[in-house]
Structure 1
């Protein structure tokens, strides 16, 4: 299984699980609370998986688990002697260090991550490391687990990923300085969006993910996966951007018994079999786009404008088209491309694999595509695209990560999507005018659907002022800068220029002008944005239920003000 397997096999007897304390409320009056040490054997590891070209896995023996819950910053309250004595009686043990929140004399909750970053826990960390110095080769050390699950079970949850990473790095950096041989475990639940909290290769040696732990069961943002094999595979897959061994933990709901260890082996083997079909063999730089009519600063400015209200604006260098199977079949796409050619512009073409006559809508479109069932319509698509006289930014099956059923390619297995995306894009490998665009909305967990460096030239996200269907008051819309900061951060593990292929704002003209002024300022400051494309249309009313669909249309004057603000 390769040299790397042999290297990690030497760590096998050091692998363990991270204990999650069973608090449902935060501890009050922290200054009067004693630190707590708990031994728990309920959660056990099913196995450990190694991502890579020689993907491999091993199952795990039972290991002792301890939780050290710090209720205050007073290092004298740590029961180090009892803890170290307990750890020394085991061949291998896992110690989860948890900084529990209390309340100050004004009954205000204390920011435990801020305390870690400021060094308030340093004396405790140093004293702990002093005690662990004799057993550091047999202890795995974890810090504040389940950080990414959007619930408030632990005081370090529902916090900024940047803040958590700073705290983790502070803790890990100090520990590694004092105990250079100890292994540090980063312990998310493996919930969608976990990668946002990844602290970096230098600060974590291993990863652990848990199966239906308490935090995850308390959260309803995403449907729970009931099939154990699928659940394990999805959680391992979410960690594929991070090349570290992954410990898969059981729980009270999914214990580490022979049955579930068999499920782990099936999931691990499936991932290994899929590796070469979903992973690029090498990185390829995005091509430089030239020959376009841009602003002075090189920014591509586009519009989706089916009402043709803005397409005559001089600043427009890109026009956006949405092409389903029907538009490809009946010649609509071909006519639209010819029209854009006459205006001398580039185009964004978002291919939507549904709503055809010969090729009707199917929930199995992604699976069937890889089987070759859609080859004729894909070939027709590329034949039509080849008529474009300027660069084509080709986006396929967008917003795939949103857990809804608006499109048939949503709420699908990410591996299935990746295979279909790669299959579709390879049909146009010979066309020099195509720029391949991977187009998530930029929501939590987007990188599960990342198809690989070799088939992506640009990443795109969507930024709309009214993403929440419960919001009807335009004044409650988030600013462009707030949304951009959140969504662009989620793309930080992929090194591609960003094309905001859809953005829009609803409201009065004065409100739209102010929102777009903020957008222009944010775009100007960014060094990763290659282009922006305004969605000058109302959304589909069918997906908004009883609430009127938002209309993001703007006037020529508002658009011109935005362009001017971009150019300043």
Structure 2
């Protein structure tokens, strides 16, 4: 069995790559009929035949692109597609650019070569590939330097980067992936630039109880987000999914996230984010640990 060579999202040690051994038992996907995927640095879903999508994150600066070939082999051995999230920055925090520098760099073509280099490698891979660029662009939390821009600026940047990518990788699918908040439609780059829409859905029981006054179910969070994107007429994925709480809370989520709901005809798949959060949750709730073996609290 191959050890997964993962592109790790913003790791604390400041590099983009790590060779991770299987140190935990293989886990099963949640019950249901929807296609299931995972961003899975620990390799906990490595032998689960129900996992159809392998999610990778990589920055477009300071990244070893040769690792994508290993990821392709890993996915092919398991009959999985690749969802590749490209984040337009470096994961080395103390040398990250400002939003203004990034905007100007994209506008002037400074970053064309970064996007082109990644997509040229993706074009050489055998797996079916979906590219997800600069996700959650309407988020106002300050997590990403590409979020909360003026919508027209983001749309121009998205269109430019997808044009650059398609010039060298014409067969990739393109995901536009808002968080799901009100106003997301202002950031839509147009039907010609979107093959699939991705959304993010995270449930944190303690935060919901104390800040909202009641626990949220998967449908409570997902439904309004789906309603905001269904009018685009594109397939919809939950590109990032996680939930943390007590055993009953996690069980309710676990048994609802892969169901084939008739009210969501465009929903095709859900992709679990099997990693601890790297950006603090609002209101002082720290870094929730979405890893499946850690997410049940009070055990």
Q: TM-score, normalised by structure 1?
A: 0.42
Q: For 2:58 and 2:217, how far apart are their aligned partners in 1? A: 30
Q: For 1:529 and 1:459, how far apart are their aligned partners in 2? A: 9
Aligned to 2:117: 380
Aligned to 1:315: 50
Q: Does 1:514 align with 2:252?
A: yes
Relative to 1, partners in 2 of residues 1:467 and 1:406: Cα closer, same or farther, differing over 3 Å?
A: farther
1:428 Cα deviation after fit: 2.8
Contact 1:481 1:522 in 2 (8 A): no
Q: For 1:367 and 1:515, how far apart are their aligned partners in 2? A: 42
Relative to 1, partners in 2 of residues 1:334 and 1:544: Cα closer, same or farther, differing over 3 Å?
A: farther
SS in 2 for 1:491: helix
* Aligned pairs for 1:364-379 within 5 A: 364=100, 365-379=102-116
1:532 Cα deviation after fit: 1.1
Aligned to 2:202: 464
Q: For 2:206 and 2:108, how far apart are their aligned partners in 1? A: 36
- Cα offsets for 1:368-412 (capped at 9, x unmatched): 212111122111111221232121111110000012321100121
- Cα offsets for 1:150-197 (capped at 9, x unmatched): xxxxxxxxxxxxxxxxxxxxxxxxxxxxxxxxxxxxxxxxxxxxxxxx
1:555 Cα deviation after fit: 4.6
1:413 Cα deviation after fit: 1.0
- Cα offsets for 1:464-492 (capped at 9, x unmatched): 11399676699943111111211111113
Aligned to 2:139: 402
Partner residue of 1:324 out of 34, 49, 59: 59
Aligned to 1:414: 151
Segments of 5+ residues of structure 1 without an aligned counterpart are: 1-296, 559-568
Aligned to 1:303: 38
Q: Does 1:479 align with 2:217?
A: yes
Contact 1:367 1:420 in 2 (8 A): no
Q: For 1:523 and 1:501, how far apart are their aligned partners in 2? A: 17
Q: Does 1:539 align with 2:277?
A: yes
* Aligned pairs for 1:107-126 within 5 A: none
Aligned to 2:20: none
Contact 1:325 1:356 in 2 (8 A): no
1:497 Cα deviation after fit: 1.0
Q: Does 1:391 align with 2:128?
A: yes
1:313 Cα deviation after fit: 0.8
Relative to 1, partners in 2 of residues 1:433 and 1:367: Cα closer, same or farther, differing over 3 Å?
A: same
1:311 Cα deviation after fit: 2.6
- Cα offsets for 1:473-531 (capped at 9, x unmatched): 99943111111211111113311110111111112344212222233336465211111
Pairs aligned (count): 261
Q: For 1:416 and 1:541, how far apart are their aligned partners in 2? A: 25
SS in 1 for 2:146: coil
1:341 Cα deviation after fit: 3.5
Relative to 1, partners in 2 of residues 1:529 and 1:389: Cα closer, same or farther, differing over 3 Å?
A: same
Aligned to 1:526: 264
More deviation, 514-523/414-423: 514-523
Aligned to 1:505: 243
Segments of 5+ residues of structure 2 without an aligned counterpart are: 1-31
> CA RMSD for the aligned pairs?
3.1
Contact 2:242 2:290 in 1 (8 A): yes
Contact 2:155 2:187 in 1 (8 A): yes
Relative to 1, partners in 2 of residues 1:298 and 1:410: Cα closer, same or farther, differing over 3 Å?
A: same
Q: TM-score, normalised by structure 2?
A: 0.77
Contact 2:218 2:256 in 1 (8 A): yes
Contact 1:304 1:319 in 2 (8 A): yes
Aligned to 2:99: 363
Structure number with bigger Rg = 1
* Aligned pairs for 1:39-438 within 5 A: 299-326=34-61, 328-329=63-64, 331-355=66-90, 360-364=96-100, 365-430=102-167, 431-438=169-176
Q: For 2:250 and 2:204, how far apart are their aligned partners in 1? A: 12
Contact 1:390 1:433 in 2 (8 A): no
Q: Does 1:448 align with 2:186?
A: yes
1:338 Cα deviation after fit: 3.9
